[in-house]
Structure 1
Amino acid sequence: MSELPEPPALPVTFRPGHTRAILLTAGVVIFLTISGIAVLLEGLGPGERLSFVVTGALIFWVLAKLARVKVVADEQGVTVVNIAGKRRLDWAEILQVNLRPGDPWVFLNLSDGTSLPALGIQPGLAKQRAIADARALRALAEARSAARLGEDQG
């Protein structure tokens, strides 16, 4: 395995900054555009105008859910916030942090034999940052693993 960087200070939050900015900006623009159309179109009743605004709000809500993804590491473990849910992991549960070429985001191999996608680290628009973040999370997981082994043996 390649040499890992010094783990970052805790707590640390990893999130796709560019993707988040684009999604939230697009959500606001879409909401304002659809709401503006509702106001400007003549011949629409109040219910129809409201349906335009609600549609714009729903689109914004979906894009905001996509933008909320993150990975938060602290002294006790890692919290993975994905699109539809949030999962708290103790450091002992994380066996490996993977970001292979072509992966859309980091995968965490867990002690129960499953793999958890961590969408908060994704190489889409900022590949080098995602690689650095994945290495930092890997360094944290390995440092915590080494500390656990020292405590168990001591």
Structure 2
Amino acid sequence: MATLYAPFRPRLARWVSLVLAAIVAVGTPALVLTIEGTYGFLDLAGFAIVGGAIVWFCWRQASVCAVVDEQGIAVRNLLLSRRLDWAEIVSVRFGAGRPWVQLDLADGDTLAVMGVQRADGARSVSEASRLATLVALHTRTSRDD
């Protein structure tokens, strides 16, 4: 039962993002400190700010996940995070061509779950199935309508 409630995290995107963040985090200060030419303070600060923004973006991409518990699911995507009760979720979709799982919500909206990404291959299909199992388990009623 513990593995059923394990967090959903992508593997490939996480590793690529962390490696890229490390390269930019090391490369940006090296560039700022060794660049030749007549660059002023504002130019060098601009390089540092852009490098910092790239590192932040990569860190945010690496931290996407969906954490589940008995009450519901907390989805952390690239820019937004949202907490849902199980009753708010109508279905789980992960059809061909979708880059990540989508939840159909009771209010008619959809929510992407970037914690389950197609780039992870067969693992992503099993993770989508696990999420669908959790939704079915927690949204079952006595009439199961």
TM over 0.5: yes
Please list, as runs of the form range in 1=range in 2, the aligned pairs for 1:1-154 lying within 5 A after superposition. 8-10=3-5, 12-43=6-37, 44-124=39-119, 126-146=120-140, 149-150=141-142
User: SS state of the match for residue 13, structure 1?
Assistant: coil
User: SS state of the match for residue 142, structure 1?
Assistant: helix
Contact 1:8 1:140 in 2 (8 A): no
Contact 1:8 1:136 in 2 (8 A): no
Return the offset for 1:8.
4.0
User: SS state of the match for residue 24, structure 2?
Assistant: helix
Give % identity: 31
Q: Which amino acid aligns with 1:92?
A: A
Return the offset for 1:114.
1.4
Alignment TM-score, normalising by the size of structure 1:
0.83
- 1:87 and 1:62 mapped to 2: Cα distance? 19
Superposition CA RMSD, Å: 2.1
Contact 2:13 2:61 in 1 (8 A): no
- Unmatched 5+ stretches in structure 2: none
- Unmatched 5+ stretches in structure 1: 1-5
Deviations for 1:49-68, whole angstroms, at most 9, x for unmatched residues?
Answer: 33322221111112222222
Alignment TM-score, normalising by the size of structure 2:
0.88
Contact 1:70 1:118 in 2 (8 A): yes
